Amino acid sequence: MEYAPYIIISGIIGLAFAYWLGRNIKKQDSGNEKMREISRAIHEGAMAFLFREYKILVVFVIIVAGVLGYFISYITAISFVCGAILSTLAGFIGMNIATIANVRTTQAATKSLGQALKIAFSSGAVMGLSVVGFGILGVSILYFIFNDPNLIIGFGFGASSVALFARVGGGIYTKAADVGADLVGKLEAGIPEDDPRNPAVIADNVGDNVGDVAGMGADLFESYVGSILATMIIGLAFTVSSERFVILPLLISGAGIICSVLGTFLVNTKSEKGVYSALSKGLIGASILLIPAIYLIAKFVLPESFPMGGETHSYLDVFYATVAGLVSGVIIGLLTEYYTSYDYKPTQKLSESSVTGAATNIISGLSLGLKSTVLPVLVICATVLIAYSFSGLYGIAIAAVGMLATLGISLAIDAYGPVADNSGGIAEMSKLPHYVRKRTDSLDSVGNTTAAMGKGFAIGSAALTALALFSAYTAAANLSIINLVDPFVIVGLFIGGVLPFLFTALTMSAVGLTAQEMVEEVRRQFKKIKGIMDGTGKPDHKKCVDIATKGALKRMVLPALIAVVAPLIVGYFLGVAALGGLLAGSLVTGMLLAISMANSGGAWDNAKKWIESGKFGGKGSDPHKAAIVGDTVGDPYKDTSAPSLNILIKLMSVVALIFVPLFL
Nearest in space to 439 (alpha carbons), one of 49, 113, 41:
113
Banded pLDDT at 537 (limits 50, 70, 90): confident
**Cβ-based neighbours of 558, under 8 Å, separated by 6 or more:** 506
CB atoms within 10 A of CB 478: 9
Using CA atoms, how far apart are residues 341 and 349, in angstroms rounded to an integer? 11
What tens digit of pLDDT does each residue of 288-303 get? 999 999 999 999 999 8
Is the confidence at residue 372, as pLDDT, over 90? Answer: yes
Judge whether 424 and 441 are in contact, CB under 8 Å: yes
What Cα–Cα distance (Å) separates residue 196 from each residue in 427, 580, 639? 11, 52, 24
Query: Directed axis angle between helix 216-235 and helix 154-164, to 10°?
Result: 160
Is the confidence at residue 179, as pLDDT, over 90? Answer: no
Residue-level pLDDT at 383 = 96
Residue-level pLDDT at 416 = 87
What tens digit of pLDDT does each residue of 91-104 get? 999 999 999 999 99
Using CA atoms, how far apart are residues 466 and 485, in angstroms rounded to an integer? 23
Using CA atoms, how far apart are residues 407 and 412, in angstroms rounded to an integer? 8
Using CA atoms, how far apart are residues 328 and 205, in angstroms rounded to an integer? 33
What Cα–Cα distance (Å) separates residue 13 from each residue in 17, 218, 284, 408? 6, 20, 21, 12
Range from 73-77, 438-442, 453-457, 542-546 that averages highest in pLDDT: 73-77
Banded pLDDT at 1 (limits 50, 70, 90): low
Q: CA angle at residue 271 from 194 to 619, to 5 degrees?
A: 35
Alpha-carbon torsion angle 122, 33, 206, 17, nearest 10: 20
Residue-level pLDDT at 259 = 96
What Cα–Cα distance (Å) separates residue 61 from each residue in 56, 134, 161, 356, 522? 9, 18, 8, 51, 36
Residue-level pLDDT at 583 = 96
Give the rounded distance of the alpha carbon of 428 from its chain centre: 28
Region for 308 from its dihedrals, namely left if φ exceeds 0, alpha if ψ lies in -120 to 50, beta otherwise: beta
What is the number of domains present in the chain?
1
Rg (CA), the chain: 24
- Ranking 22-26, 33-37, 208-212, 362-366 by mean pLDDT, the lowest is 208-212
Residue type, 363: I
Using CA atoms, how far apart are residues 212 and 320, in angstroms rounded to an integer? 33
Judge whether 632 and 183 are in contact, CB under 8 Å: yes
What tens digit of pLDDT does each residue of 194-219 get? 677 888 888 888 888 888 888 889 98
Is the confidence at residue 414, as pLDDT, over 90? Answer: no
Residue-level pLDDT at 371 = 97
**Cβ-based neighbours of 45, under 8 Å, separated by 6 or more:** 202, 203, 205, 206, 541, 542, 545
Q: Is 189 exposed, middle or buried (0-12, 13-18, 19+ CB in 10 A)?
A: middle
Mean per-residue pLDDT over the chain, rounded: 90
Q: How far apart are the first and last CA of the chain?
A: 33
Is the confidence at residue 518, as pLDDT, over 80? Answer: yes
Query: What percent of the chain stands above pLDDT 70?
Result: 98
Region for 618 from its dihedrals, namely left if φ exceeds 0, alpha if ψ lies in -120 to 50, beta otherwise: left
Using CA atoms, how far apart are residues 217 and 132, in angstroms rounded to an integer? 10
Using CA atoms, how far apart are residues 355 and 539, in angstroms rounded to an integer? 34
pTM (2 decimals)?
0.93
Using CA atoms, how far apart are residues 254 and 261, in angstroms rounded to an integer? 11
Q: Is 376 exposed, middle or buried (0-12, 13-18, 19+ CB in 10 A)?
A: buried
Using CA atoms, how far apart are residues 72 and 60, in angstroms rounded to an integer? 17
Q: What is the DSSP string of 424-475?
A: HHHHHHTT--HHHHHHHHHHHHHHHHHHHHHHHHHHHHHHHHHHHHHHHHHH
DSSP three-state, residue 308 = strand
Judge whether 474 and 144 are in contact, CB under 8 Å: no
Residue type, 303: P
The number of residues making up the chain comes to: 664
Using CA atoms, how far apart are residues 339 and 361, in angstroms rounded to an integer? 15
Q: CA angle at residue 380 from 374 to 385, to 5 degrees?
A: 125
**Cβ-based neighbours of 599, under 8 Å, separated by 6 or more:** 336, 339, 340, 368, 369, 372, 373, 452, 456, 638
| Average pLDDT over every residue of 558-569 | 92
| Average pLDDT over every residue of 243-267 | 95
Residue 311's DSSP bridge partners are 308
Judge whether 503 and 644 are in contact, CB under 8 Å: yes
Where in the sequence is the domain holding 477, given as residue range(s)? 4-663
Helix (H) or strand (E) holding 311: strand 311-314
